Amino acid sequence: MDIIGIDLGDLMNERVIPWQPTVIAGPKQALLVTPETAKMMLKKAKRPLFVVGPLAKEEPILTLTKEIAEHWDLPVVTTGDAYKIFKDAGLDSKQNGIVEIVNLLKDPEWKGVKGEGQHDLVMFIGCIYYIASQGLSTLKHFAPHLKTLTICKFFHSNADASFPNMKDEEWLKYLEKMKTD
């Protein structure tokens, strides 16, 4: 790539400055991950959970999200009004407000959506950026028993691990990769 006058370091930074730059909260920042690392995290997790928000309602994200959930056999919680369209598309989920599910996730005693025990990894897609950022902050501070991973096209500094800021084209490639082992 021919990048005249632009420092490559800047370009890298650009990917890991929180997408809304002012959500930056302090010294603890998310780890930038690729689909490969994200998949490693899913493989290692004993009880992962997939939280899907209303921004994932549109195609092609809807289908990709559904396929990722199915490939990894993930229990799904839908937030906002995402429940209906995913159900119509054949993906069953538990409907919760994002603050409700985060409230449950921060309780180490909670038994998880399947009643089998608290989750140890929560992967997010499609939640509205700034409310998601707040929810991730809650989990960062009050849920040391689990890790958070975001696979939106926005860098989420409050997560433990996040995809970088990306344009749609690159993001779709990332999501495609998430569908395989």
Partner 1 sequence: MVINVAPKSTKPKDFKDDFWKSKDIKISIGEIAHDEAKGGEEDVKMGPTPKPNVTDLRSWDMKLIDRYEPFYAPFCDMCCLCTYGKCDLTEGKKGACGINIEAQQARMVLLACCIGAAAHSAHARHLLEYLIEKKGEDFPIDMGNNVDIEAPIIRTVVGIIPKTLGDLREAMDYMEEQNLHLLSSCHTGQEGSNLDFESKALHAGLMDNLGKEIGDIAQIVALNMPKGDADAPLVELGIGTIDRDKPVVLCIGHNVASGAGVIDYVEDQGIEDDVEVCGICCAAIDITRYNQHAKVVGPISKQLKFIRSGVADVIVVDEQCIRTDVLEEAKKNQAKVIATTDKMCLGLTDMTDEESDKIVSQLINNQIEGALILDPDKVGEVATKVAMQIAADRDMLKLLPDMDEIQKVAHECTECGWCTRVCPNGIPMMEAVVAAGEGDFTKMEELYDNDICYTCGRCEQECEREIPIMSIMAKIGENKLKEQKFNIRAGRGPIQDVEIRRVGAPIVLGDLPGVVAFVGCTNYPEGAEDVAKMAEEFLERNYIVVTSGCGAMTIGEYRDEEGKTLYERFSGDFDAKGLVNVGSCVSNAHIPGACIKIANIFAKKPLEGNFEEIADYILNRVGACGVAWGAYSQKAAAIATGINRWGIPVVLGPHGTKYRRLYLGRTDKEEKWQLNDIRSGDVVSGEPAPEHLLYAAENREEATVAIAKLCIRPNDTSKGRQLKLTHYIDLHRKYFGTIPEDVYKFIRVEKDIPITYKKDIKSILEEKGWEPRALPQEPSIRDFPDDSKAEIQGK
Residues in contact with partner 1 by the rule CB under 8 A: 19-22, 25-28, 53-54, 79-81, 83-84, 87-88, 95, 97-100, 102-104, 110, 127-131, 134-135, 137-138, 140-142, 144
Half-sphere exposure of 26 (CA within 13 A, CB side): 4
Q: How far is the CB of 81 from partner 1 (least distance, A)?
A: 4
Which residue lies nearer to partner 1 by CB, 9 or 27?
27
CB of 99 to partner 1, least distance (A): 5
Amino acid (1-letter code) at residue 145: H
The smaller minimum CB distance to partner 1, of residues 24 and 40, is found at: 24
In whole angstroms, the minimum distance from the beta carbon of 108 to partner 1 comes to 14
- Closer to partner 1 by CB, 38 or 132: give it: 132
Closest to partner 1 by CB, 131 vs 172, is 131
Element (H, E) at 115: none
| Burial category of 134 from C-beta neighbours within 10 Å (exposed 0-12, middle 13-18, buried 19 and up) | middle
Q: What is the DSSP letter of 161?
A: E
Q: At what angle do helices 129-142 and 98-105 cross, to 10 degrees?
A: 10
Which three-class secondary structure state does DSSP give residue 37?
A: helix
Shortest distance, CB of residue 180 to partner 1, whole angstroms?
30
Give strand ranges (E) for 39-135: 48-52, 76-78, 94-95, 121-125
